[in-house]
């Protein structure tokens, strides 16, 4: 298995739609690490994640977050929208005083 950091970075690069959706990142991680798990029932995947060598969803989420922090070009559209809203908010309240 490749390093999880490398795998998630590749997923974010190859699948821009996953940049704003942790479930899509998790799905791609499972697909790459344990392809047979994709045809299993979700409950079977969850109960057998160790045997399938699937990292926890939280580990995948944190890895995605760290990669996007270190590589801003891999951030999604939601991040950009949040930053625009934040700038708008700061601008609005900095003009008040």
Residues near 68 by beta carbon (within 8 Å), at least 6 away in sequence: 12, 19, 74, 75, 76, 79
**Structural domains counted in the chain:** 1
Structure-block tokens of residue 58: 């939280």
Domain that holds residue 70: 4-94
Per-residue tens of pLDDT for the chain, all 97 residues: 459 999 999 999 999 999 999 999 999 999 999 999 999 999 999 999 999 999 999 999 999 999 999 999 999 877 676 766 776 767 777 776 5
Tokens read off for 87: 């700038």
Which pLDDT score is estimated for 1?
41
Q: What pTM was estimated for this model as a whole?
A: 0.78
């Amino acid at each position: 298995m490749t390093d999880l950091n490398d795998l998630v970075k590749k997923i974010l690069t190859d699948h821009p739609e996953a940049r704003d959706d942790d479930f899509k990142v998790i799905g791609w991680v499972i697909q790459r690490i344990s392809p047979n798990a994709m045809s299993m029932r979700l409950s079977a995947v969850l109960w057998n994640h160790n045997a399938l060598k699937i990292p926890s969803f939280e580990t995948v989420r944190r890895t995605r977050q760290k990669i996007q922090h270190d590589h801003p070009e891999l951030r999604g559209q939601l991040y950009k929208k949040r930053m625009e809203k934040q700038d708008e908010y700061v601008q609005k309240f900095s003009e008040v005083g």
